[in-house]
Amino acid sequence: MFWMYVFRREVGKYPNVTRRFLPRPCMHCRFPSCAEACPTQARHKNEADGIVLTNYSKCIGCRYCVVACPYNVNSFNWKEPKKNQYFDWESEGMDLYGRGAVKEYVGDAIPPNLNPDVARRDIPTLQYRFVGVVEKCTFCSHRIWFGVKRGLKPGVDREATPACVITCPVKALHFGDLDDPNSNVSRLLAKRRWQRALEDLGNEPSVYYLF
């Protein structure tokens, strides 16, 4: 299962060889093919932040979104998701709102990785993971949701930014508000050369590759 897949490719001739990497999160398209194809509206575009999310309690597991997505970002739960393959905050005494014994570890911060095994009834799209439904990268919508609620700015404050972006050791990933012309990502896009994947399909993905 890859919510974030990394393409690898060797280029050059021995001895001058190098490897190229291309990370592939969900593109969170402006016109998502998956949401169009989904027969039950389980896959939808969140109006507030434009993130494309799955409602696991509506998904019927037909895998039409897997077929419809040109970027193939979807993965399917072929069997019951294994419990505790993530750090289990619940067993550390965290309640549904991130309070409890876990405070000793993270203080006031939002836990870096929300255990998907723990249902969040207050976030409609973060519920229990089921067998037989489709999932994909959510841009860590729980971190953005909590962060915005606390008045933080996604992309600037670490706690309101997707986990992949803040953990990347070489700072290859950037995150921010594309609608805001003064945000970090808008400035980067104005300054640097960029390309979007499969631009001619007209999905208008929100992920830009800088060169």
Partner 1 sequence: MTPEIWGVKLTRKLAAWLSFLIFLILIGVYGFTRTLLEGHWWTGLQVPSMGGAVWGLYVTNYIFLIGASAGGFIIAASAHIFNVERYKSISTLATLLALIIILLPPIFIAADLGRPDRMLHVAYPTPNLRSPLFYVLLTLTLYILLLVLEAWFSMRRRLVMKKSWLTLGFDDLSEYSTKRDERTLKVLSLVGLPLAVSVHSVTGWIFGLMKSRPFWLSPLMAPIFLSSALVSGVALLIFVCIIVKKFAGFKIEQDTLSDLARLLFMMIPIDIFFLMIEVLTVAYAHEHTDMRPLTFLLAGSNAPLFWFEIIVGALIPFVILAFPRFRRSTKLLATSSLLILVGIWLKRWNLLMAGTLFTHEWFGWAEYPLGSYTPSWVEWSVMTGIYGVAALLFTLVIKFLPVEEEMKAMPTPAIVEVE
Q: Report how many residues bind partner 1 under the rule CB under 8 A.
A: 45
Least distance between partner 1 and beta carbon 13 (Å): 16
Does 138 sit near partner 1 (CB under 8 A)?
A: no
- In which element (H, E) is residue 164 found? helix 163-167
3-state secondary structure (DSSP) of residue 10? strand
| Chosen residue from 87, 130, 166, 189 binding partner 1 by CB under 8 A | 130
Does 66 sit near partner 1 (CB under 8 A)?
A: yes
Does 30 sit near partner 1 (CB under 8 A)?
A: no
Question: CA 97, CA 120: separation in Å to the nearest integer?
Answer: 8
Signed CA dihedral, 109, 113, 115, 120: sign only: positive
**Six-digit token pair at 184?**
């970090």
Does 59 sit near partner 1 (CB under 8 A)?
A: yes
Does 137 sit near partner 1 (CB under 8 A)?
A: no
3-state secondary structure (DSSP) of residue 148? helix
Return the range that interacts with partner 1 (CB under 8 A); candidates 75-83, 100-108, 146-154, 158-166: 75-83
CA-CA distances (angstroms) from residue 145 to 68, 120, 131, 150, 165? 27, 12, 25, 9, 16
| Chosen residue from 46, 75, 113, 184 binding partner 1 by CB under 8 A | 75
Buried (b) or exposed (e) across 156-176, using 16+ Cβ within 10 A?
A: ebbbbbbbbbbeeeeeebbbb
Question: CA 187, CA 178: separation in Å to the nearest integer?
Answer: 9
One symbol per residue from 171 to 200: x for binding partner 1 (CB under 8 A), - otherwise; what is it?
------------------------x-xx--
Least distance between partner 1 and beta carbon 19 (Å): 12
Least distance between partner 1 and beta carbon 113 (Å): 21
Beta bridge mates, 106: none
| Chosen residue from 106, 119, 166, 201 binding partner 1 by CB under 8 A | 201
Nearer Cβ to partner 1, position 77 or 184?
77
Residues lying near partner 1 in the complex (CB under 8 A) = 2, 5, 7, 9, 20, 22, 24, 33, 36-41, 58-64, 66-70, 72-80, 130-134, 195, 197-198, 201, 209
